[in-house]
């Protein structure tokens, strides 16, 4: 620090902050956003210093990003960093306090490691004649008040601060920091150190600002007068359209809308409402936003079908023929549609049913809906509900919102063009809800035959009749559908296909479709029945046929490549031996590997949204303290089933020859493979009980028998669901004996005949009957499948052979 009388007072080597579009002044707070690397580096370096000082220099060319020392003014302001706030996108906001005016030595400005440095010399303030300075200061204050009166954008805090400042140099700094003055003028005033000269230039700047303000006001008044004149002229022209037709044909547009409304044969109340809207439209300019809102509303009303209707197929046999031609199987659906047509033909009018097709993916839920529309001779509309979570998508938005439109229900009706289409609501179990509402609640009105005749969309604001629409919904599982909504629908379950059904579907539909899609004909490629079955068993085990279709497409493409290389090659016939040559090693192992007799491993059956499947429950003992460990991503219900099974085994340990101390000196680990797949449900109860008992006794379990059933603490085997899907899964992997709860015997009538012929179902009432059948040493453990089936055939019409009198169940005796 040197004496005030000297030219230089402070000298520091400081990081330089290049500032664009602003000039930093002493005695003021400077706030700016930083995003450039050179500026970020300067702020970082200064923040790491104890004094936190930077030299802020204004950039000469604001549009330039890459700054060099020659691009900066040499006179600026030394400031102290007060606050640094992190913003999004790597940008920071910096708040500094200006301390004193300083000049960077020209030869000292240099760049080091991405940061510009410079030696800053403080420029002291020079005072002249005190009387002259006071006179200029007073004049400047008066001019500032005039500028403040004309410019209302200066903050009130700055006005209050200016009234309290007595120092002329500080007054100029604070005033300039708040005023809208050119950057070069501000920089010139910053560089001036003599107070009197600075006041002179400041007054000249103030006079210029006053003149500019007067000119701005004059221009604004002229523009406002011109706008008022244009509005008045526009209003007059709108009032006398008949004279000035060259300005528009809006009256003609009103007449066109009026004619369309009258010819549409709308309901009387809605017609009256639309005519009122047309009358309102005629009283406003066509450029008005409300004018556009009205025309959009009228367009939407006119686009909707109100009386247009298609005629249903008259002959039932024609409808059945179309359904049979498009789909193989699905007898329940075909029967239900035939019933609907028969009743409609007899009554002449009836409310359309609300059907819900539930089944695993790929079984034909969506495609059968399209076939139903074709069979009935109706239009078809599909609406996907996966991920829909806003109620407004169903009911629409009110016209008060910008860009409001009708909901997707009326949008679908507009696309159909008739009041009685087949409307498919796909994946209704995938609906979700959030703060914007629950769309499932909106469907309570849409899918209720007693209410949907007066469905009210928020945009149309008039009851719309949906009672003649044949709504069909699809779902993979009923679990995701709320109970009130499920109650309004007629549930039709679609189970997975058998091997024979898949083979027939492939021959009738999939192979011809893929041949055409890949540029082949039946003369180029033939896939034998054995080839299709090999593809199904080795590559596409699934409930539906979607993967099967893709795999057949792969076969066709492989052959298409050969034909593309040699168009004269002979026709190709794919049999069971040739399929692996095109598709590689089969994805699924032979079924014989599943039939090994093991200790603690039991084959169970499960049902998922994707169809039935088999699962192996494994149990093993390890030295420990009697703890139960469950793995395999099991749900709460399945964990409770394992606990109940273990409790039953412990309660009957004496009966099965298990020492009591074995439960306290060993830990039991129950695992269900495919650990990444979530599993839940009670139907694995008897499977777990069998695995646990096998682990504690060391007895082998038959691997050719599958089972399903819930277990109670008393050892009762309780009914389960999804028997058809589970049976198809068992047959798919080659299992021919299945143990089911006695309470599920009634469900056997729903199974395909080929499944009942191929699988021996043994109903059981208590879990000890299961042990007798599948555990080593059990009464029927050594019976082969053929012996079991022979016993069933010898029983004649009896569902299953009668066991010894000691057993109260129905079963088999070898």
Q: Which of 422, 442, 452 is nearest to 485 (CA)?
A: 442
Residue 227 CA to residue 301 CA, distance in Å, equals 37
The structure tokens listed for 593 are: 């590997």
Kind plus residue range of the DSSP H or E element containing 245: none
User: 726 catalytic, yes or no?
Assistant: yes
| CB-based burial, 346-370: b 16+ in 10 Å, e otherwise | eeeeeebbbbbbbbbbbbbbbebbb
What the block records as the tokens of 290 is 């409300």
Angle at 627 between CA 625 and CA 633, to 5 degrees: 150
Is 332 annotated as catalytic?
no
As given in the structure block, the two tokens for residue 788 are: 């079991």
Q: Is residue 18 helix, strand or coil?
A: strand
Distance between CA atoms of 366 and 608, rounded to whole angstroms? 19
Q: CA-CA distances (angstroms) from residue 118 to 74, 121, 125, 256, 275?
A: 10, 10, 21, 76, 77
Distance in angstroms (rounded) separating the CA atoms of residues 231 and 223: 12
d(C-alpha 34, C-alpha 690), whole Å: 71
**Rounded CA separation 117/441 (Å):** 67
Q: Where are the alpha helices (DSSP H) in 681-802?
A: 685-697, 723-732, 753-758, 767-774, 785-794
**Given 683, 694, 727, 791, which residue is catalytic?**
683
d(CA 25, CA 78): 9
Structure tokens at 798: 């009896």
Provide the 8-state DSSP code for 428.
G
Catalytic residue among 41, 379, 502, 726: 726
Q: How would you label 704-726 residue by residue, b for 16+ Cβ within 10 Å and e otherwise? A: bbbbbbbbeeebbbbbbebbbbb
Query: Rounded distance, CA 539 to CA 553, Å?
Result: 13
- Residues known to be catalytic: 683, 726
């Amino acid at each position: 620090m040197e004496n005030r009388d000297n030219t230089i007072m402070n000298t520091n080597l400081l990081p330089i902050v290049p500032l664009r579009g602003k000039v930093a002044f002493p005695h003021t707070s400077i706030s700016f956003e930083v995003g450039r690397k050179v500026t970020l580096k300067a702020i970082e370096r200064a923040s790491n210093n104890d004094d936190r000082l930077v030299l802020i220099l204004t950039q000469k060319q604001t549009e330039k990003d890459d700054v060099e020392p020659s691009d900066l003014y040499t006179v600026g302001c030394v400031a102290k960093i007060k606050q640094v706030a992190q913003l999004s996108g790597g940008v920071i906001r910096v708040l500094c306090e200006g301390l004193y005016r300083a000049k960077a030595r020209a030869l000292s400005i240099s760049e080091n490691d991405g940061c510009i440095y410079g030696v800053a010399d403080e420029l002291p303030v020079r005072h002249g004649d005190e009387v002259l300075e006071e006179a200029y200061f007073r004049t400047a204050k008066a001019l500032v008040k005039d500028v403040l009166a004309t410019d209302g954008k200066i903050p009130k805090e700055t006005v209050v601060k200016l009234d309290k400042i007595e120092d002329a140099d500080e007054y100029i700094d604070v005033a300039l920091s708040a005023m809208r003055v050119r950057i070069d003028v501000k920089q010139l005033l910053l560089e001036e150190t003599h107070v009197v000269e600075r006041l002179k230039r400041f007054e000249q700047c103030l006079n210029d600002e006053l003149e500019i303000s007067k000119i701005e006001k004059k221009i604004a008044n002229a523009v406002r007068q011109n706008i008022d004149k244009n509005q008045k002229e526009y209003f007059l022209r709108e009032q006398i359209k008949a004279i000035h037709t060259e300005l528009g044909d809006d009256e003609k547009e009103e007449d066109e809308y009026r004619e369309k409304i009258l010819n549409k044969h709308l309901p009387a109340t809605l017609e009256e409402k639309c005519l009122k809207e047309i009358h309102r439209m005629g009283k406003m300019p066509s450029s008005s936003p409300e004018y556009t809102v009205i025309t959009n509303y009228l367009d939407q009303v006119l686009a909707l079908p109100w009386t247009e209707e298609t005629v249903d197929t008259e002959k039932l046999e024609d409808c059945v023929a179309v359904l049979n031609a498009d789909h193989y199987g699905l007898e329940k659906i075909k029967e239900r549609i035939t019933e609907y047509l028969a009743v409609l033909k007899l009554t002449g009018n009836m409310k359309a049913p609300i059907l819900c097709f539930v089944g695993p993916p790929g079984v034909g839920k969506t495609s059968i809906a399209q076939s139903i529309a074709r069979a009935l001779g109706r239009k078809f509309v599909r609406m996907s509900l996966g991920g829909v979570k806003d109620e407004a998508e169903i009911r629409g938005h009110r016209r008060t919102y910008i860009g409001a439109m009708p909901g997707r229900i009326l949008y679908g009706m507009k696309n159909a063009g008739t009041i009685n289409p087949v409307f498919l609501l796909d994946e209704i179990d995938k609906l979700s809800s959030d703060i914007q509402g629950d769309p499932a609640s909106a469907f309570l009105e849409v899918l209720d035959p007693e209410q949907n005749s007066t469905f009210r969309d928020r945009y149309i604001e008039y009851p719309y009749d949906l009672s003649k629409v044949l709504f069909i919904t699809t779902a993979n599982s009923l679990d995701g559908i709320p109970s009130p909504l499920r109650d309004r629908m007629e549930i039709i379950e679609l189970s997975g296909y058998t091997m024979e059904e898949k083979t027939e579907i492939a021959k009738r539909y999939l192979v011809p479709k893929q041949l055409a899609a890949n540029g082949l004909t039946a003369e180029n490629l033939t896939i034998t029945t054995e080839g299709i079955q090999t593809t199904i068993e080795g590559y596409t085990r699934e409930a539906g046929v979607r993967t099967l279709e893709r795999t057949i497409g792969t076969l066709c493409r492989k052959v298409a490549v050969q034909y593309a290389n040699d168009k004269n090659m002979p026709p190709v016939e794919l049999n069971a031996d040739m399929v692996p040559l095109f598709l590689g090693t089969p994805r699924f192992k032979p079924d014989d590997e599943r039939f090994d007799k093991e200790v603690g491993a039991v084959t169970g059956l499960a049902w998922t949204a994707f169809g039935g499947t088999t699962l192996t429950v494994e149990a093993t003992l390890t030295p420990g303290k009697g703890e139960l460990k469950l793995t395999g991503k099991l749900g709460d219900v399945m964990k409770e089933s394992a606990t109940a099974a273990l409790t039953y085994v412990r309660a009957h340990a004496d009966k099965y020859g298990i020492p009591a101390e074995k439960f306290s000196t060993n830990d039991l680990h129950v695992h269900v493979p495919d650990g990444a797949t979530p599993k839940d449900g009670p139907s694995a109860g008897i499977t777990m009980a069998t695995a646990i008992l096998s682990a504690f006794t060391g007895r082998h379990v038959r691997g050719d028998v599958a089972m399903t059933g819930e277990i109670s603490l008393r050892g009762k085997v309780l009914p389960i669901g999804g028997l058809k899907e589970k049976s198809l899964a068992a047959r798919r992997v080659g299992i021919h004996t299945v143990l089911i709860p006695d309470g599920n015997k009634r469900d056997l009538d729903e199974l395909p005949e080929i499944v009942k012929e191929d699988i021996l179902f043994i109903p059981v009432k208590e879990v000890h009957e299961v042990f007798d059948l599948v555990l080593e040493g059990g009464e029927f453990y050594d019976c082969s499948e053929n012996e079991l089936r022979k016993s069933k055939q010898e029983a004649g019409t009896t569902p299953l052979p009668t066991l010894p009198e000691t057993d109260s169940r129905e079963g088999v005796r070898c």
